Amino acid sequence: MRSRLLDAGAEVVLVYPEVVEVNRRGDPLRVPSDTPVRVRVTTSVDRSSDAELPGQVSSKVVKCLARSAPVGSWARVVYAGEDWDVAYPPRLSPGVSRATRHVEFGLRSRNTTPEAP
């Protein structure tokens, strides 16, 4: 039996996996791919702090669980319609059985500021 927590997550993130490109000098560079991969995830708030005064920054980190995800340090992730950064490297958990094997990774909000009218 498959795990509903992993296979039927409540949210979908778009992951632009990291790929290796060669720049004009011949050096390999890791960059996000141009093509996203849709990944169904279960999320929970990992850490959060809200700005209370003007000039302060809010900090949000979300923990994601997925059956599999092509997430790496240079991947681009779109969650809830916004760009997020990978907060910590993905961790593959072997689980107790194949049904519970999963990938766990964290996303950090980029704290985009709203445009002034």
Measure the CA–CA gap between 17 and 114, rounded to whole angstroms: 27
Query: Could you report the per-residue pLDDT of 33-54, keeping only the tens digit for each?
Result: 999 999 999 888 877 777 666 7
Band (pLDDT 50/70/90 cuts) for residue 15 is very high
Q: Which residues pair with 103 in a beta bridge?
A: 66, 92
Measure the CA–CA gap between 99 and 94, rounded to whole angstroms: 9
Q: Which two tokens stand for residue 11?
A: 């949210």
Measure the CA–CA gap between 85 and 109, rounded to whole angstroms: 6
Measure the CA–CA gap between 49 and 58, rounded to whole angstroms: 6
Query: Could you report the per-residue pLDDT of 63-114, keeping only the tens digit for each?
Result: 998 988 899 888 899 998 889 999 988 999 887 888 788 899 999 988 755 5
Confidence (pLDDT) at 36? 94
Inform me whether the pLDDT recorded for 116 exceeds 50: no
Confidence (pLDDT) at 1? 46
pTM, rounded to two decimals: 0.77
Measure the CA–CA gap between 103 and 95, rounded to whole angstroms: 10
Residue 116 is given by DSSP the state P
Looking at domain 4-109, which of 2.60.120, 1.10.3470, 3.40.50, 2.40.10 is its CATH number?
2.40.10
